[in-house]
């Protein structure tokens, strides 16, 4: 799994001109899923996301986690995170899982995050044409890949 994590002041997803989901302070997470992903990736990434210390404490130092600030998560599936751009100018998405594999993993990630955070996880709609609007705070943007845990 690959996640692009952004600390946000606000974020929302629109589908067909209507707001699907919206959050205030928290994390906007774009999630890419590949066939090699499984329950261990979900567990590891969920724990990392909930406990990542990227929110400011009273001294303005990034020392607090999402759990500690009781922030929200907006989680959006994003197959283009596995784009291969080595050949030519048209990206290939062959590494991205098809819906029959990706949807159950995406839904499992939502359940795991809700369990660990103890609150609702806001989402887009898998496979939909979505417009994402956000105000990145910092800016803070981090890329996490479960296949590169040592980085």
Instruction: Report the catalytic residues.
Output: 80
Please tell me the chain's helix, strand, coil percentages from 3-state DSSP, rounded to the nearest 5: 25, 40, 35
The residues near 126 (Cβ < 8 Å, ≥ 6 apart) are 77, 99, 102, 103, 106
Task: Find out whether 74 and 123 touch, Cβ atoms under 8 Å.
Answer: yes
d(CA 106, CA 31): 8
d(CA 105, CA 1): 10
């Amino acid at each position: 799994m690959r996640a692009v994590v952004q600390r946000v002041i606000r974020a929302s997803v629109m589908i067909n001109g209507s707001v699907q989901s919206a959050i205030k302070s928290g994390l906007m997470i774009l999630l890419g899923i590949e066939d090699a992903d499984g329950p261990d990736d979900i567990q590891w990434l969920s724990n990392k996301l909930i406990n990542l210390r990227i929110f400011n404490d009273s001294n303005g130092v990034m020392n607090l986690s999402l759990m500690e600030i009781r922030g929200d998560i907006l989680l959006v599936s994003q197959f283009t995170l596995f784009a291969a751009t080595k050949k030519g100018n048209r990206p290939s998405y062959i590494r991205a899982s098809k819906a029959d594999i990706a949807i159950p993993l995406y839904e499992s990630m939502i359940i795991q995050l809700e369990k660990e955070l103890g609150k609702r996880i806001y989402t887009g709609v898998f496979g939909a044409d979505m417009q994402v609007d956000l105000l990145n705070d910092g800016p803070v943007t981090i890329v996490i890949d479960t296949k590169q845990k040592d980085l």
